[in-house]
Structure 1
Amino acid sequence: MAKEVAVIFADGCEEVEGLTVVDVLRRLEIPTKMVGLTDRQVMGAHQIALTCDAVVSDDLLTADVVAFPGGRGGAERLRDHKALKSIMVQRQNDGKWNAAMCAAPIAFARYGLFKDADFTCFPGFDQVILSEEPSARFHEDITVVDDQRHLITSRGPATAMAYAFAIAEQLGVDTQEMQHAMLYDYLQAEFQQK
């Protein structure tokens, strides 16, 4: 059975973070839906209009991974959406993978998903998260995968591709060929030389 990912877009989202995940996963032939928080039409933080495939519903309970892009406005809307909170808590209780990057981990903290969890986020939001969930453990890594809590987190716009590959890898997909095709391995090698 094919794995499925849902990426949740809210007004004020960081477009590059959400669209990079959709792009990379679709290149890897992982069925990936763009899901609007309250409407199929979403306006990103940089005034890029996005048209989603669906709107948040209980269908998210069956996705193998639900991923949140950041962007402060979008992250706050995700954080404050009661129906989405209920779905995400149920997903964690069911042992499903959930992912959030940049500012969006503030939503997971509010939902209670970060109890005793390892995470990362955009600089400064770690203090917000730790004030909500003091048992969480912040790391400065590009991406953090918490196998116990089934959580994937990442730092910000420049780490979106690493985040996308981490999501694919948790689904058991070999990403090496795609990393090479997209020059991601070249980028990694360049950074390691500096």
Structure 2
Amino acid sequence: MQEFIYHMVPADMRGDKLISLNSLETAHPELYEKYSKKYFDHPERVKLLRRQIPKLNCLWNDVIHFSPLHPYHVYNALTELGIQIKEELKFYRVPIQNLKNNKNAIYMYSKETYRGPNNDIDEDDINFININDYKEMKEIPSVTVEYYKDEKEKGNKFGLFAFIPHLLTYGEVDIKDAEIITWNNL
């Protein structure tokens, strides 16, 4: 059975390969400027631009970040909580085999070990994966739903993929055969 990973479709996509933010700086400086702005909206987030990823031995923005969870599960959790969101956010549904030439790891992103964006990632939270053994997540972690509830009650902006493991890939990802889906449909 084919397994997939998910990546939000950039508003301004060029070409048929996803590349890391740091690669974008050289390939398309104007897009790098546009997409790196999100790291300057909070004093701690800017430190992510220099954050090291253990085991992969690279920076946070040297890799492409994917979700192993179909985005519908995030959409559904948010709407059930009455959180206002965009209805038809688009994602690439990428066959896991498209990562076969890359170095790939899962960042566990657990609430227990996460210490904020300006702290190091615990080495035990990064695990290399064999894409032939990869399986999609089938449900959103309960800790993520609790996070949404707490942040909504506080009136805070929050990350959509908090405490959902991230699949990190070091290298380009061909998306010619990726399907574009909307997160409000499973």
Flag the structure with larger Rg.
Answer: 2
Structure 1-normalised TM-score?
0.24
Structure 2-normalised TM-score?
0.24
Instruction: Decide which structure has greater helix share.
Output: 1
Whose RCO is larger (CA < 8 A, sep 6+)?
Answer: 2
